[in-house]
Structure 1
Amino acid sequence: MHHLTTGLYRVASLSCVMAYSAHCLAAGYGLNENSASYMGAGFAGRASNPVDASIAANNPAGISFVKHNTLSVGSALIFKGGEFEGQYKRPPLPPPYDNGQTLRGKTTDFQKTTPVPFGHLSMPFNDQITVGLSAYGPFGIELDYKDDWPGKYFGDETSVKVINLQGTLSFKVREDFAIGIGLIGAYVKGKLTQTAGVPDVLPIDATIEGDDNTFGWNIGVIWQINEQMKIGAVYHSQLEFTLDGDIKVQGRLMVPENPPINVTVNDKVDAKLDITMPERVALSITHQIDPRWTLVADATWTRWSRFKQFYVKAKRHVKISQSGIPDLPPEITTDPSSYIPMNWKDVWAFSVGTSYQIAQQWLLRLGYMWDQSPVDDKNRTVRSPDANRNWFTCGASWQPTEQLSIDVAYAYVVMDKGNISEAKYNGTPPHNVNAEYGKITGEYNNSSHIVAAQLNYRF
């Protein structure tokens, strides 16, 4: 009975924890999908090639070169995908309680099919001033692993959505040079679920939900060097969020001893998470070779080294009730805070593309982007199964009338294979590794298909 009591005390004293991170369709948390026209060319030239109102989200100066009142609306659709194979292994508790646990298996399609809508409006006020309004998602994630996958004790569902509402003002200093600024109101909402507690002994269903809003900005310039070439540069500010929400925990353990042992947790506590979405700097070049051919290129640097940790801090302890263990009080409290070191690195993305005007009404696009990941084999987690990406894209634009055009695009995104070896960290300082929780190891092999469509109306 002494060993059983010791084991159950360890069960009761261990907190249920949640890691808070994400995997997206751009490196880190980033989303590129704010325009079907730029997606067709691998997002190359998105800060220097003002083809429609969607340039506002990529370079606010660009709308000075959009001649008419223009409405650009559409959506990308990221299809389900993802593949993982590996195992979770937990060491045994003191005998004779259990002999540890090992789960092996393979899971697929944990990246959920997700729409990414966007909308942009550009309106010239006079020959020098143009104003605009945009709504788009700069960051986001939708993961949902199967219930029986080997890493269920580290993460099940991950949903993080960031929405930007941007007002844009662009000023044409000269006929060949413009500067623009965008003021951004950003909103984030997150939900994460996990089976936590002590794996296979006291499984606890844990859910974290929270939201916040903040302000940001971007500033950019476009210089038309000559009739054939434009250069664009843009800076996007960081977005600092404090997610206020709660941690819900539920779980129960019953042991048919004499007297029977019953351990129950059913509580909800307030919690918060500080998170910063990093600043970005981009340089784009557009070169029109002749009336039919245009070449575009882009280089973007993102300061993901700001992302050091995720620390979900609970504002009070969770209450755990027990009966049948005489050495313990009827109610025990434990801190449900969670911590995971991220230590991401700064990254680059490079893209090249081209467009070809095959007829007066038809334009074709091709592109490629190499998208560096801030994650490697040392810091990959089940909520950030990230790796370097290769984007292969194509698209087309159809203009049936002078006022109306439609853009469509397709992207095949191939990620490098990535190994994972993730342990659990204690939620309270000094945040040491909790060796009793076990470790998930394995390999990710992910790829994605994305389609996008956009309607442009000039009035």
Structure 2
Amino acid sequence: MVSCLRQRVAVLSPLFAAMAVSFHAGTAHSAGYGVHENSASYLGTAFAGKASNPQDASIAANNPAGIAYVEGTQISVGSAVIFKGGEFEGKHTAPNLLGPSETVVAEGKTKDFQSQTWVPFGHFVFPLNEQISLGLSGYSPDGIQLDYDEDWAGRYFAKKTSVKTINLQGTVSYKFQEDLSIAFGLIGSYVKGELTQKTDLTNFMAPNYPAAEAKIDGDAKTLGWTIGTLWRVNESTNLGLAYFSQLDFKLDGDVKVDGIYPVTKEPVHLKSKGKLDITMPEKATLSLTHQLNDQWTLMADATWTRWSRFKEFYVEADAPTLSSYVPINWKDVWAWSLGASWQVVPEWKLRIGYMFDQSPVDDENRTARTPDSDRDWFTFGANWKPDPSFSIDVSYAYVNLKKGKIDENKHYTPPNQGGVITDYGVLTGEYNNSSHILAAQLNYIF
């Protein structure tokens, strides 16, 4: 009996691979699996100028060379809050092994599966002398907080996805001359996640059969690096270029399944260690800032991310029947943003921005843990500076994702050629997602 159950759980165990897929995900974050929210000031311009406009210490997380032009010894701390949202309607169908027709395992509509999430950040810049500046930043580059309803249509594919990440970045910037700086940063990255889903312990996928609970938790850490340059072309124009390296993670975690086998009422407790090697892709940003006059400044950004590195995820478990495989087949993407700021009076500055954020996810490879699609960002913000050494930034973003269809299957592991597991059925439907983001930031010059 236990052997049979282990074979069945092997059909369901892509949950662990889903953790690697999802620790960069988020329907309100950047397309793909990134998180933009490392600054409230740059959020106001949809992150246009994030690598060329050294307005505060938070530029360290976007172009390390920018800290050479940050005023004095400065600290910028704050947080963004991503409000709950998300909408899905569809169904899970599977072959009826007791008859010729298909079984509708579950169907319906669910909302607000994207949980409210806080994304804190902090940046500190310290000039050693006229040429060398040091920086230290803490921010969350990746993350997700999804929690679908208990009885939603895709509960056998995903339920809870909770992943928290943090980057600690140390930066050294060198100013060759007044109009040119270069910098290098060393990044320590840590990720910890928990994912759950329902699991069928029979071959029937019948709606009236009780489901077991499958859970994954694991963590990983790695080192990366970043380089950047900032060129002050003239008194009005800055050009910034930044590159962030790939991150090579080796995830370790536990796969657990707990439930009651419905035929014999026998309790089931399965557990195995699992590992997964994964490389998160590099990205490069080209950024332009141009000051029209004393009041108006224009900004633009283009960011390229090499998501084509993602072809597949293969999890090897100590118990081979719990190994899993998820095909990805993503593409390289671009994010384009435009923004402007208006210095209304010396104490107040207003900002506005737009970004088109291309997604590597399409209708062919969308999953319940990655309900991503191309998105449009509409942002505005304000900076209040009542004192030369103190200012506050507040910003708002509305993020609208294009509707996206899902047609998700489970797959055998590569030793079995990675084919679709037809008995498990398919999740079909449509996502219609949008999100609201608020951010606030305190800047202080010592």
Aligned-pair distance for 1:190? 1.6
The superposition leaves residues 248-288 of structure 1 with CA deviations (integer Å, 9 ceiling, x where unpaired) of: 11121233xxxxx3444202211112222210000000000
* Most deviating of 48-57 and 243-252: 243-252
Partner of 1:68: 72
Give the structure 2 partner of residue 320 of structure 1: none
Q: Which has the larger radius of gyration?
A: 1
Give me the identity figure in percent.
56
**Whole-Å Cα distance in 2 between the matches of residues 57 and 454 of structure 1?**
15
Residue equivalent to 2:405? 419
| Equivalent residue for 1:349, pick from 335, 342, 358 | 335
Residue in 1 aligned with 2:252?
Answer: 244
Question: Which residue is equivalent to 1:14?
Answer: 8
Structure 1 residues 40-439: aligned runs within 5 Å? 40-94=44-98, 100-197=103-200, 198=202, 199-200=205-206, 201=209, 203-255=211-263, 261-317=264-320, 335-427=321-413, 429=415, 430-439=417-426
Equivalent residue of 2:71, what SS? coil
Matching residue of 1:322: none
Distance 1:286 1:13 in 2: 58
Q: CA RMSD in A?
A: 1.8
**C-alpha distance in structure 1 between counterparts of 2:150 and 2:279, whole Å:** 30
Distance 1:64 1:90, change over 3 A: same
Q: Point out where structure 2 has 5 or more consecutive residues left out of the alignment.
A: none
Do the aligned partners of residues 12 and 169 (structure 1) sit closer, same or farther apart at CA in structure 2, a change above 3 Å counting?
Answer: closer
* Offset from partner CA, 1:45-73 (integer Å, 9 cap, x none): 00000000000000000000012000000
Task: Give the stretch that moved more between structures: 124-133 or 19-28.
Answer: 19-28
Q: Aligned-pair distance for 1:237? A: 0.3
Q: Distance in 2 between the 1:354 and 1:13 partners?
A: 58
Matches of 2:227 and 2:135 in 1, distance apart?
14
Shift of 1:338: 2.0
Report the 3-state secondary structure (helix = DSSP H, G, I; strand = E; otherwise coil) of the residue aligned with 1:268: strand
State the AA in 2 paired with 1:431: G
How many residues get paired? Answer: 430
Contact 1:121 1:133 in 2 (8 A): yes
CA distance in 2, matches of 1:285, 1:51: 13
- SS of 2:386's equivalent in the other structure is coil
Amino acid of the residue matched to residue 239 of structure 2?
Answer: I
Residue 399 of structure 1 aligns to a residue whose secondary structure is strand
Query: With structure 1 as the length reference, what TM-score do the two structures score?
Result: 0.91
- CA 1:10–1:268: 2 relative to 1, 3 Å: closer
Between the aligned partners of 1:99 and 1:281, the Cα distance in structure 2 is 48
In the alignment, the residues of structure 2 paired with residue 382 and residue 352 of structure 1 have an alpha-carbon distance, to the nearest angstrom, of: 31
Quote the residue 2:443 is aligned against: 456
Cα deviation for residue 159 of structure 1 reads 1.6
- Offset at residue 202 of structure 1 (A): 6.4
Q: Is the 8 A contact 1:72 1:454 kept in 2?
A: yes
Amino acid at match of 1:78: I
Counterpart residue type for residue 121 of structure 2: F
| Alpha-carbon distance in 2 for matches of 1:9, 1:43 | 53
Residues 68-106 of structure 1, C-alpha deviations (whole Å, 9 max, x = no match): 00000000000000000011101112459x973432100
Residues 170-201 of structure 1: CA deviation (Å, up to 9, x unaligned)? 00001100001111011011211111234344
TM-score with structure 2 setting the length: 0.93
Contact 2:179 2:231 (C-alpha < 8 Å) held by counterparts:
yes
Write the letter of the residue equivalent to 1:419: K
How many angstroms does 1:428 deviate by?
5.6
Distance 1:264 1:90 in 2: 25
Q: 1:55 aligns to what SS in structure 2?
A: helix
Work out whether residues 91 and 104 of structure 2, in 8 Å CA contact, stay in contact via their aligned partners in 1: no
